[in-house]
Amino acid sequence: MSEVLVIGHRNPDTDAICSAIGYAEFKRRTGMPNALAARCGETNERIDFVLKTFGMEAPKFVADVAPKVCDVMEHKVVSVGPRTSVVEALAMMDEKNLRMLPVLDQDRRCLGLLSVFKASRFFFPSLNRIFDSRRVLASLRSLCRVLQGTMICAFDPEREDDLILMVATLKPASFAARLPQYPHEKLAVVVGDREDIQRLAVQGRVRVVIITGGLRVSEDIQAVAQSHEVSLIVSPHDSATTAMLCRASIAVEHLLHQNFQSFGIEDRLMDIQHRAVDSQQQAFPVLNNEKHVVGVITKSCFLQKTTRQLILVDHNELTQAVQGADQVDILEIIDHHRIGSLSTTQPILFRNEPVGSTSTIVADCFKRYGVELPPSIAGLLLAGLVSDTLNLTSPTTTPRDAEILEWLEVLSNTQAREFTEKLFESGSVLVSRPADQSITADCKEYVEGNRRFSVAQIEEIGFDQFQKRKIEVRTALEQYRAVNRYDFSVLLVTDVVLQTSLLLVAGNTRLRDAIQYPEPEPGMFELTGIVSRKKQLLPYLTNMLARLDGAGT
């Protein structure tokens, strides 16, 4: 069964993490056993404090949900070793209906590919290479195994030889005259029950004499072969079949495509599809980070539809969603922010409510449908609610938030006020993280018309830590804007006790000039009473942009 990831936005805050865990629990309890909470960003100190308080693990980390090679590849790899004979490999390919076979060493590293096409060229050489049809490149051990024969005597049977195949159909005189035309140590003579021909071959010290038809070899011939160090093999087949199988005893390592295309297990399908389509290969080894073969992907695999699906919580814009969200099915969206420009290929459940937190909506689902809410999940949802509403003091707070919070307090046996104090004391990103990480810990990207910009927020108890690191934070904000080529980037630093904020603005000097709040320092504004990014700051910024655009900026 495919997984359904319940996932919040990039740079997740407490509400995104808690609502993902809570809604995944709700979906499992209401008939979706494969719902799994996930995250596409790192947790912070406050999130870790919440998870530890209520005994929960962090959601599964998923950086990219775009269909990958591992989603469609064949995990059961049919392969052979380099010393496998071609006839054995071709039999396997015929049984499995394969046109290409990876050849792996003992560490499962791919040495090359064996194709039906290259094998056929070996068995049916062109007219200008007709001598190749008599070439046998194999060890005596391999010859005997492929022939399913019996080795009467053998000298150095493991040594691989480049032999010349001679099928003895001539009269003894003609055969005796022909033998000296070739190096005796390279000859493999195929003969029936003609003892006179057998004797000439053995006395001529050929490399091996192969007696066909499963016929008995006389003790006299065996004795001469021993004295002349000539190997003897008895084949159960007729001469024609024996000659064919001798050719097919060549090890696959001699017929490999060594210049082959392979893909990584985490490669995105859309990134590699053109290379696969343009390649003459029909199948491609899939490698892990250690370059071991862990699967095979064929061209037909690219036509498969991946079954990973998403439920988005605490956001509804693709610019804020996990990478690759636009390439998979989105089943539901549970959110309390403004509705962005996201579109879907089919109708979905979209629950968007003007409340203070997504955790409020998730808790309401349990309550509305009479689904049992475990105390630990109730505690997480309480944490998400008080974090996003600053314990019901934020302008985004609604009566529904207060009603749900009272219910969650009872179920989780947690006093919201006491918990909120501990939550905001549990960690300051300005203390625990470098400046460049502090400004992206809770950051979202927005698009208004032709403008792309970012809005980040840091919630602190007082401004002391910010004042200490003000210069490096401002520098990091400008660098972040430049790297991402945003029109502007802003950072809202909020004092959750005094319910007021400082706003840093990087980029777009026309916007900075239009902000109608006190500006104690260039690019830094005092926003008294502003604590909500969603309900206060973002509408203010978008309204100013509209006025500026209307004025022709």
- pLDDT for the residue 131: 44
Q: What is the 3-state secondary structure (H, E, C) of 458-515?
A: EEECCCHHHHHCHHHHHHHHHHHHHHHCCCEEEEEEEECCCCEEEEEEECCHHHHHHC
- pLDDT for the residue 426: 82
In the numeric block, the tokens 């008995």 are attached to: 216
- pLDDT for the residue 49: 95
**357 phi and psi, to 5 degrees?**
-155, 155
Question: Domains, the chain, ranges and CATH?
Answer: 4-66+307-425 (3.90.1640.10), 429-550 (3.10.310.20)
Whole-angstrom distance, CA of residue 367 vs CA of residue 379: 15
Q: Please, are residues 22 and 384 in contact by the beta-carbon 8 Å criterion?
A: yes
**DSSP reduced 3-state for 234:** strand
Q: Give the bridge partners for 323, in sequence order.
A: 64
**Measuring CA to CA, which residue among 383, 387, 397 is closest to residue 459?**
387
Q: State the amino acid at position 93 in one-letter form.
A: M
Q: Which long-range contacts (CB under 8 A, 24 or more apart) does 499-502 make?
A: 499/390, 499/393, 499/529, 499/531, 500/526, 500/527, 500/528, 500/529, 500/530, 500/531, 501/527, 501/530, 501/531, 501/537, 502/463, 502/466, 502/526, 502/527
Q: Please, are residues 389 and 381 in contact by the beta-carbon 8 Å criterion?
A: no
**DSSP reduced 3-state for 395:** coil
Whole-angstrom distance, CA of residue 453 vs CA of residue 517: 20
Half-sphere exposure of 393 (CA within 13 A, CB side): 16
Tokens, residue 34:
């494969």
The model carries a pTM of: 0.67
**Measuring CA to CA, which residue among 195, 188, 138 is closest to residue 167?**
188
Sites in the chain below the pLDDT cut of 50: 130-131, 553
**DSSP reduced 3-state for 5:** strand
- pLDDT for the residue 130: 44
Q: How many helices (DSSP H) and strands (DSSP E) are in the chain? A: 21, 22
Q: Please, are residues 426 and 46 in contact by the beta-carbon 8 Å criterion?
A: yes
Q: Please, are residues 458 and 429 in contact by the beta-carbon 8 Å criterion?
A: yes
Query: How many residues would you count in the chain?
Result: 553
- pLDDT for the residue 282: 85
